[in-house]
Amino acid sequence: MNITEITQSAGSDKRSKRVGRGRGSGKGKTCGRGHKGAGQRAGWGGKILREGGQMPAFRRIPKRGFNNAIFATRYHVVNVSDLETRYEADAEVTLESLREVGLIRDFRKPVKILGNGTLTKKLNVDAAKFSGKAVEKIEAAGGSARIVP
């Protein structure tokens, strides 16, 4: 690799807008801000949720019931078909080995094994959660499914 072969990502070298450089530039006089008012002044950010006297959307829409989104547990999902292709027979499937073979990215989320696909190899699988079909298929192949926190 040479220094001449290195290219920047598209859009990373965008030039800043040069304003106030005469009327011929297209950004002279008012510099693209228009005439008078708060939008023309420095430091004006505007209120995002302001709707000019109309009842704001977040007050028009009723807030009811319980939303589980912030309490739900998110899992790394691994299918038994993935275990079939990535592991040899009689292998120990742990969090560390799942990361080594590239089935999970990190240890921040727990792992759940699902029963999609077929499993013919005997595997000893450690995970936080298993689906019913996954346990059936692992045990039918002669392996074991152990729940680890």
Does 93 map to a domain? yes
- Report residue 74 as tokens: 């998110």
Does 6 map to a domain? no
Does 46 map to a domain? no
- The answer to whether residues 108 and 126 touch, using CB atoms and an 8 Å cutoff, is no
Per-residue pLDDT of the chain (149 residues; tens, 9 = 90+): 677 777 767 667 778 889 999 999 999 999 999 998 888 888 877 777 888 899 999 899 998 899 899 899 999 999 999 999 999 999 999 999 999 999 999 999 999 999 999 999 999 999 999 999 999 999 999 999 999 98
Our count of domains for the chain comes to: 1
The CATH number linked to 80 is: 3.100.10.10
CA–CA separation, 84 and 123 (whole Å): 9
Does 18 map to a domain? no
**Mapping DSSP to helix (H, G, I), strand (E, B) and coil, where does residue 25 land?**
helix
The pLDDT score that the predictor gives to residue 1 is 65
Does 59 map to a domain? no
Count of alpha carbons within 13 angstroms of residue 45, beta-carbon side? 3
